Amino acid sequence: MFISEPTIDDLLHRVLEVLLRRGRAILPAKGPAVELIGVLIELRNPRARLSRTEARSLLFGGLGEFLWYLAGSDSYEFIRHYIPNYPVTPDRMGRVPSAYGPRLINEGEGRNQIENVISMMLNNRDSRRAVIQIFDANDVLDHDSDVPCTCTMQFLLRGKLLHMFVNMRSNDAFVGLPSDLFAFTMIQEVVARSIGAEVGRYKHCVGSLHLYDKDRSKAEDYLEERWQSNIAMPPMPLGDPWPDVHEVLAAEERIRNGSLRAVPKSISSPYWADIVNLLRIFERSFKGDNKAVGRFRRRMSTDVFDVYIDKRRRCALKVASSPSVQPQRELFKPH
């Protein structure tokens, strides 16, 4: 089955409709679900990666996951800051065994897979070997349930467009798919800028695409919503993105630890400064600091994120009025 749409909401709408209508009942370990086997999903505009609906207008979990990946981190506390219900029990060292970060960026062993595919495409623009492996042979032997759902990421530079093809062994269509599309298309755009290319299409192949019965009513409610299908994130600035990416990662750690007071002046573009301000908005909203949320909103260079910032302002007001009640963060299971 092939499903192609221009935006994430168009795509999710089609996927959920087909799952509800044609999905086959299964009983996996995590609960009853309906499933489609062998589905190829295409997001024609990878920058249209954010849902504009009330039910799925989630930004900060996917953003945190994207930065967790690029940091090469397997820290449970890092990802739990953004996804408090992250469904993995950490090991004794507080690490997530299936974390993608160390598999993507294993600098200690000279196996930074993102750097390797960038170098490969700079040397051979028509290469078919620009593949990142996430799921490996050890995962087959590991009887722990915590193994990656993503198998490979392939990059194909054709002309001036960088296309990305991700192969998933399993994907939760309602909860996991939106965050995967966000994080992976952000990686696609970072790699595209690294080789002087524009973003092409994003394709996502899933062995088992499923919807859990517990999410069926929420999926049906989502299908009743309307959305703005022509809204996309601004393009990343031209040129090498990595100096700004490293600055953002350093800022993220300081924000998470409560020590960042201003956007670093070394961040050279409004795009990446906006990312830092979004992280500050997220952190201050849970402190009930509505004034700070409003102040950081005024510093944004675009209004694309206003709907997500408004949610954080409501969160800040709720915390300020009832300090003993902690509102939920963006809860979703990432795979």
Q: Quick one: pLDDT at residue 108?
A: 64
Q: Quick one: pLDDT at residue 89?
A: 85
Q: For the segment 212-242, what is each residue's pLDDT rounded down to a tens digit? A: 999 999 999 999 987 776 789 999 999 999 9
> Looking up tokens 């940091």, which residue turns up?
71
36 and 1 Cβ atoms separated by less than 8 Å: yes
Domain boundaries, the chain: 2-224, 242-321
Q: For the segment 254-309, what is each residue's pLDDT rounded down to a tens digit? A: 999 989 988 999 998 999 999 999 999 999 998 999 999 999 999 999 999 999 99
Q: Quick one: pLDDT at residue 328?
A: 56
179 and 332 Cβ atoms separated by less than 8 Å: yes
Q: CA–CA separation, 113 vs 102, rounded Å?
A: 10
Q: Quick one: pLDDT at residue 334?
A: 45
CATH of domain 2-224: 3.30.572.10
Q: Quick one: pLDDT at residue 227?
A: 74
158 CB burial (10 A radius; 0-12, 13-18, 19+): exposed
pLDDT tens digits, the chain, 335 residues: what are they?
999 999 999 999 999 999 999 999 999 988 999 999 999 999 999 999 999 887 777 899 999 999 999 999 999 999 999 998 888 889 989 999 999 999 999 866 668 999 999 999 999 999 999 999 999 888 888 666 688 999 999 999 999 999 999 999 999 999 999 999 999 999 999 999 999 999 999 999 999 999 999 999 999 999 998 777 678 999 999 999 999 999 999 999 999 998 998 899 999 899 999 999 999 999 999 899 999 999 999 999 999 999 999 999 999 999 988 866 555 555 445 44
